[in-house]
Structure 1
Amino acid sequence: MQAERSPVVHPSAGARGGEQPAPSGITPRLHERAFDILAAQIASGALAAGERLLESRVAERFGISRAPARQALTRLERLGLVRRAEGHGFVVLPLSGAVPAAVVAGSVGDAPVRLSPEPAAERIYRIVETEVVMRTAFGAWRVVENHLAAHYGVSRTVAREVLSRLNRRGVVKKDARLHWHAPALTPAYVAELFEMRALLEPAALLRAVPRLPVDLVPAMRARLADAIARPEARDGDRLGVLEEDLHVTLLGHCGNATLMEALGTCQTLLVALTFLYGWAPRFHADEPFLAEHLAVVDHLAGGRPEAAAGALRDHLKGSFGRALERLDRMRREFAPGPLPYLVAL
């Protein structure tokens, strides 16, 4: 394997092949632009097979945060252009056969490019989301908007935008006095959220089936099979991506915005589980949800959508008890510090 080096970047890589360019006046999102450039450089050979790409180094070279860098690398993995390396990071794979349609080999060089910085709300959103959700395992909190703005050095408009997004994810709510609050993840509340998910997610899956891209299910199955076969390579980030594959990406093709909005209000559990995977990825010797997700995907691959919906419902029933176990363990073993914008209720 070649020694690691910073990824080559160049501003001239074009739009994704086979996809419509962004309408005039609309700037592609940072992870899409990072993907375009990296994919073009792999296709052209500017990034050679065997080179290692680290999330932190990609973020540094593009002048973006780690979240869009991670999204770009994950998409490269889905297209078979990179694979997860032993330990951490990704390794560029040799191109085999035709270049995927999503890759355009543009003019590339060694000059670095820095993408436009993320908006302030995007920059702090994931941090706030994680900080709030991890503390809801211990109780309910009032979220003070102006203190949040001051703590992260942003305007109240930005703080309000972050809280509005958290509201759409079900992480925070507004009470009768229009104060923001984050409800505690008590066993009763977790049970309500799982009950809602068991009602809504199978319905979303059935609506999504005729709209799924042809390569989505095979790619999901390959990632699950690899995670099952190589437990030593599982980390919190990877488990979080596998959860999102099914419960966000696949269901997101259902075509019913109202249904997805209702589902979004239950996603505080996905946020909590992603944090818990990172905190204790080896909670189970053999992570049970992998086989359960695989059962759903295998039914989809076999053209059995009703069976897939049933397997998804069974998976959610089994996940309820495991989520409570993880939350209980965190309460016993983890002690997050105070934050100036969170007031215990």
Structure 2
Amino acid sequence: MNGTGQVLADMGAPGAEAALDKSPLYLRIRDVLADAAATGRLPKGALLLEGPVAGLFASTRTPVRQAFALLEAAGTIRRFDGRGFLVGQGRSGPKRVALTAEMLGLDEEAPGLRKAPAWEAIYEGLEREMVHLSVFGRHRINEVELARDRGVGRQVARDALTRLEAYGIVEKDERMRWTLVPLDEQRMRDLHDIRAALEPLAIVQAAPFIPPAERRAMTARLEEALAVYPHLTVKAMDDLETDLHITCLGYCLNRELLIALRRAQFTLNVSKHIIGVSHRMPADEPFIAEHLAVFRALDVDDGARAAETLRHHIVVSLPKVIGRVAELREAHRPAVPAYAAPVTR
């Protein structure tokens, strides 16, 4: 990957933004923070917290957490007896400096690292709506009506649909019209077959590169969640799913493998949008103990056991997902939005 200086220089070239998007956000955040520390823009002892850094990059905390883990492993930042990390090594206490875009080199000449795409503002709600609607069959999606419904420009609506297309939630038909892909039982089985085959391979390849500090933090979150279940938010549950199935697998160096997995992992979104939204939290926790078993195997460098435990977890989760979708289909019929129309053929 290019260094930070090269990344920023490349942004002025045609197509640079598209190239930049191919680099995972957590690596870009890592490089920016490392460069700011090396040049002294971030002073030694400066306190770094996930929230403020995420705000500067217009991101969630997950990629910031990943970047911090890599920076800690490299010795650029360190833990201390408090919340967050300190820049540099030594024993000095925290310096509470106000982080700014200029301090990190994120000025107007390099807005692409921190400016959130416009489609993100409508994406989460749209994805939930689409997942619920997909349970009830194929629908045609009108891009113009979607833009009007959300109060955005047509390009923003198109960008959101393109993101949904990457996850296999929508597709274009032979006449290049947007259509919502039906979520039936056979599709769920097909997607789980792909995940059961590929995720175990990905976890074995990713395991050597998952920073131990990050892995321990994920394990601690699982233990805390298991102790208080079912008193968890939907977001907390989704964060736990993301830790294993997205963040950990993201350390796999085989990018083609991760691309092949991306559409299949749509099933993670199904549970996120159904549990706690359309349905009650399950009486028995659905996956936390199974995730912990995977992390226990990783803790002792037993890649084969981690892979088999993960494969088993995916296989046994299929009936749960099918059951939740069937319950949704029987008990809840969402109003069809103005931008969607059922396909009857």
Whichever residue aligns with residue 266 of structure 1, its letter is A
Give the % identical residues.
32
Matched residue, 1:9? none
- Aligned counterparts, 1:1-345, within 5 A: 23-24=7-8, 68=59, 71=62, 95=82, 99=86, 108=97, 118-279=116-277, 282-345=280-343
Distance 1:294 1:100, change over 3 A: farther
Render the CA deviation track for 1:287-330: whole Å, top value 9, x for unaligned: 13111111111111111111111111100111000001111222
SS of residue matched to 2:281? coil
Deviation at 1:217, TM superposition (A): 1.9
Q: Secondary structure at the match of 1:215?
A: helix
Cα distance change, pair 282–304 in 1 and its aligned pair in 2 (3 A): farther
- Deviation digits for residues 121-178 of structure 1 (CA, Å, limit 9, x no counterpart): 1222222212111211222222222222222233332222222211111211222222
Give how far 1:69 is off. 5.5
Aligned counterparts of 2:84 and 2:120: Cα–Cα separation in 1: 38
CA distance in 2, matches of 1:95, 1:270: 34
SS at 1:279 equivalent: coil
Query: 1:214 Cα deviation (Å)?
Result: 2.5
Q: Which amino acid aligns with 1:331?
A: R
Deviates more, 1:323-332 or 1:234-243: 323-332
What is the CA distance between 1:118 and its match in structure 2?
3.1
Residues 46, 192 of structure 1: alpha-carbon distance in 2 compared, 3 angstrom cutoff: closer
Question: Residues of 2 paired with 1:97 and 1:64: CA distance?
Answer: 17
Q: Are residues 100 and 242 of structure 1, via their aligned partners in 2, closer, same or farther at CA, if it must alter by over 3 Å?
A: farther
User: Against the structure 1 CA distance between its residues 101 and 75, is the aligned structure 2 distance closer, same or farther, given a 3 Å change threshold?
Assistant: farther
Q: 1:272 to 1:232 in 2, by over 3 A?
A: closer
Q: Distance in 2 between the 1:293 and 1:217 partners?
A: 12
SS in structure 2 opposite 1:142? strand
Q: Please say if residues 125 and 162 of structure 1, whose CA atoms lie closer than 8 Å, have aligned partners that are also in contact.
A: yes
Distance 1:140 1:318 in 2: 27
8 Å CA contact 1:237–1:278 kept in 2: the answer is no
Per-residue deviation, 1:191: 0.8
- Matched pairs, number: 298
> 2:290 & 2:117 partners in 1: Cα distance?
37
How large is the RMSD of aligned CA atoms in angstroms? Answer: 4.2
Give the SS at the match of 1:178: coil
Q: 1:298 to 1:320 in 2, by over 3 A?
A: same
For the 8 Å contact 1:235–1:281, the answer to whether it is kept is no
1:45 to 1:209, Cα distance in 2 relative to 1, 3 A: closer
Amino acid at match of 2:197: L
Q: Give the AA of the match of 2:284.
A: D
Measured after TM superposition, the shift of residue 251 of structure 1 is: 0.9
| Runs (5+) with no aligned partner, structure 1 | 1-19, 48-52, 80-92
In 1: Cα distance, 2:168 partner to 2:316 partner: 22
In structure 2, the CA distance between the partners of 1:142 and 1:293, relative to structure 1 (3 Å rule), is: same
Q: Which amino acid aligns with 1:317?
A: V
Deviation at 1:94, TM superposition (A): 6.6
1:97 Cα offset (Å): 11
C-alpha displacement at 1:280, in angstroms?
Answer: 5.8
Given that residues 296 and 311 in structure 1 are in contact (C-alpha distance below 8 angstroms), is that contact kept between their aligned partners in structure 2? yes
- Looking at structure 1, the residues matched to 248 and 277 of structure 2 have their Cα atoms a distance apart, in angstroms, of 26
Query: Counterpart amino acid of 1:219?
Result: A
What secondary structure sits across from 2:8 in the alignment?
coil
> What is the rounded CA distance, in whole Å, between the counterparts of 2:228 and 2:278 in structure 1?
17
Q: 1:154 to 1:303 in 2, by over 3 A?
A: same
Gaps of 5+ in 2: 12-16, 34-41, 71-79, 103-110
CA shift for structure 1 position 281: 7.1
